[in-house]
Amino acid sequence: MRLLRLFGATFSISLRRQLAFRADLAFQALTTVIGVASGLAALGIVYTQTRSLGGWGLGEAVVLLGTYQIVSGVLATFIEPNVVWFAGQVTSGKLDDVLLKPVPSIFLASLGSCAPLGLTQVAMGLAVVGAGLREMDAIPRAYNLFGWLVMLSAGIAITWASRVLLASLAFWAPAMELDVVYGAVWQFGRYPVSVYPQPVRFALTWVLPVAFVSTLPAQALVRGVGPALLLLGTAIGAASLLVVQLVWSAGLRRYTSATS
Amino acid sequence: MRRLMRLLSAYVWRQFLEVMAWREFVVTLTINQAITPLLGLAVWSAALPGRSGISTYYVALLVVQLMTVSYEHHTLSNGIYAGEFSNDLLKPHATVLPTLGMNVAMRIWHLLVGIPLIAALVLVVGVSLDARHSLLAVPALVLAAALRFVFTYALALSALWTQQAHWVVGFGETLIFLLGGSAAPITLFPEGVRPLGAALPFRAMLGFPAEIASGSLSGAEVLAGYGWQVLWLGALTATAAVVWRSGVRRYTAVGG
């Protein structure tokens, strides 16, 4: 509860800070609109040549793209502002500041500040999901909607865990800055994993679980999801939270600070 | 001219060595640049299975992408914001030279780092490159590299007016992605839009050399494409010169 209150206060301060820069606000909104529009346009061009992409129709692929935008928006709003170039905090000793505060360090280091304007991407993502459902001329059943929300939550948990896990590498190899690579691999979530050839598909499902971010939640919404997959998604989401806690604790034991 | 080339070579060599100090980071940048051609390859191979030329086009596009990367929003714009641009203005040669030197050095690094990936793709996806088409694509690649530098340089100069130069260049890159042949080869655009896609400068910066290399253009289309490249290079160079002249008067820096 205390963490939730802190999270709310952080969000409020960050929002007021961002709203003070109105030109930035306009550019951010415009960037989001252009990014989403270009993704839709790219998808539109593909579907002028085919009716099915990896077994997905146009409406289904649009729902998937919208789901991807929602998780990307959450990543950009709550996670990235904290962990981007995290290795710098480790090598400069600035992490001391986080460790000295009476709050779990993993919370403060990964969710301690945010960029609320990134939520425009979440809103755009929701609109795109709506547009996809409209294209399919389908009203999702309550169970499908529930499955989508559960899988989306699991996807967000996996996203947070994978991003923090990547940042935690800095405790062992501070010279290895993989932020750009994470952003690059993230792009694979724009399309259904069935598009990719087999070794890549396996890797995107089980090694770098991009499939859990967009393909599986979107599949739950447009095609339904069995209880086994729902349980698997929940279990993997929960396991990823546990793993990241363990890795973070192990990393902190290696941290020696750089200041006096 | 000879002095200019000697200076440029010196800058390229110096900055090539500078980049060597953070070569691990260049590996991550190269992976980032390779993603859109790889995504295009996967998506279009799944959308049109068995269609000849798709693999060759996207592998050629990967080469073009790596040889035309431009980071002037980081090198030039950040230099303007930090006031380091003053150093370049004071030097007794064209101000563009250090930025151009860094651009060429980065492209060489991207290509060197990307060679294993290109080789692996050639082996895995089965590329069929024709020597005549490849040779014909070389001048187009040089023009595309020049065009993309001039385009990004002109956009990066927006740092002289606004704090949003990264956004301005990002917008330009989105246009290149969408209309340059990365999201889809121009030859696969809907028929009504195809002539427009072929005439815009974005295809001339990226997709055109890859289209020639993959053998998807007729002789007349190749000639027309070269015409557009030369035309756009002239127009964008003139635009960049005008932007530079009006922008440099606004530049102020503090310190010394």
CB contact under 8 A, B47 and A177: no
Best mutation target among B24, B27, B28 (most A Cβ atoms within 10 Å) is B28
Q: Is A54 on the interface with B (CB under 8 A)?
A: yes
CB contact under 8 A, A45 and B167: no
Strand partners, B91: none
CB contact under 8 A, B46 and A179: no
Where in chain A are the domains?
2-254
Report residue B104 CA to chain centroid gap: 10
Asked if residues A45 and B187 have their Cβ atoms less than 8 Å apart, the reply is no
Helices (H), chain B: 2-20, 23-47, 54-67, 72-82, 85-90, 96-125, 131-156, 165-179, 194-199, 201-205, 207-213, 219-248
Strand partners, A53: A56
CB contact under 8 A, B32 and A181: yes
Q: Can you spell out the DSSP letters for A28-51?
A: HHHHHHHHHHHHHHHHHHHHHH-S
Sign of CA dihedral B223, B227, B230, B236: negative
Q: How confident is the model at residue B61 (pLDDT cuts 50, 70, 90)?
A: very high
Q: What number is the average pLDDT over the span A190-207?
A: 88
Amino acid residing at B163: Q
> What is the tens place of the pLDDT at every residue in B129-156?
888 999 999 999 999 999 999 999 999 9
Spatial separation of the C-alpha atoms in residues B79 and B102, rounded to whole Å: 13
Closest residue to B47, CB basis, from A50, A178, A183: A50
* pLDDT confidence of residue B256: 47
Taking CB atoms and an 8 Å cutoff, what residues of chain B touch A41?
A: 178, 183
Q: What's the CA angle centered on B41, arms B37 and B43, to 5 degrees? A: 115
> What is the tens place of the pLDDT at every residue in B4-30?
999 999 999 999 999 999 898 999 999
CB atoms within 10 A of CB A146: 15
Asked if residues A56 and A192 have their Cβ atoms less than 8 Å apart, the reply is yes
* pLDDT confidence of residue A31: 85
* pLDDT confidence of residue A92: 84
Q: Which of B183, B44, B178, B47 is nearest to A57 (CA)?
A: B47
Tell me the residues of chain B between 26 and 85 that have a Cβ less than 8 Å away from chain A. Answer: 28-29, 31-32, 34-36, 39, 42-48
Q: How confident is the model at residue A259 (pLDDT cuts 50, 70, 90)?
A: low
Q: Locate the chain A residue with the closest alpha carbon to B188.
A: A49
Q: How far is CA A243 from CA A104, A109, A167, A237, B158, in A?
A: 16, 16, 14, 10, 45
* pLDDT confidence of residue B255: 58
Q: Is the pLDDT of residue A157 over 90?
A: yes
Mean pLDDT of all residues in chain A? 89
Helix axes B96-125, B23-47, angle to 10 degrees: 50
Taking CB atoms and an 8 Å cutoff, what residues of chain A touch B29?
A: 180
Q: Is the pLDDT of residue A260 over 60?
A: no
Q: How far is CA A3 from CA A9, A92, A107, B16, in A?
A: 10, 27, 8, 48
Q: How far is CA A37 from CA A192, B38, B173, in A?
A: 18, 21, 14
CB contact under 8 A, B183 and A54: no
CB contact under 8 A, A180 and B174: no
Q: Is A68 on the interface with B (CB under 8 A)?
A: no
Taking CB atoms and an 8 Å cutoff, what residues of chain A touch B164?
A: 23-24, 27
* pLDDT confidence of residue A150: 95
Closest residue to B164, CB basis, from A27, A179, A197: A27
Complex ipTM tops 0.95: no
Spatial separation of the C-alpha atoms in residues B203 and B55, rounded to whole Å: 18
Spatial separation of the C-alpha atoms in residues A24 and A6, rounded to whole Å: 26
Give the pair of three-digit tokens for residue B187.
């030859």
Question: CA of B171, closest CA in chain A: separation in Å?
Answer: 8
Q: Is the pLDDT of residue B254 over 70?
A: no
Higher per-residue confidence, A3 vs B234? B234
Spatial separation of the C-alpha atoms in residues B123 and B129, rounded to whole Å: 12
Q: Is the pLDDT of residue A229 over 80?
A: yes
Q: Locate the chain A residue with the closest alpha carbon to B22.
A: A175
CB contact under 8 A, B42 and A191: yes
Closest residue to B174, CB basis, from A38, A176, A187: A38
Top mean-pLDDT range of A80-84, A88-92, B128-132: A80-84
Mean pLDDT of all residues in chain B? 92
Q: What's the CA angle centered on A221, arms A215 and A225, to 5 degrees? A: 80
CB contact under 8 A, B170 and A179: no
Where in chain B are the domains?
2-248
Q: Locate the chain A residue with the closest alpha carbon to B26.
A: A180
Q: How confident is the model at residue A205 (pLDDT cuts 50, 70, 90)?
A: confident
Helices (H), chain A: 2-19, 22-49, 58-74, 80-83, 86-92, 95-99, 105-111, 119-136, 142-168, 179-186, 198-202, 215-223, 227-254
Above pLDDT 90, what percent of chain B?
77
Instruction: Give the three-state DSSP class for A53.
Output: strand
B53: left (phi over 0), alpha (psi -120 to 50) or beta: left
Q: Is residue B50 exposed (0-12), middle (13-18) or buried (19+ Cβ within 10 Å)? A: exposed
Instruction: Give the three-state DSSP class for B214.
Output: coil
Q: How confident is the model at residue A148 (pLDDT cuts 50, 70, 90)?
A: very high
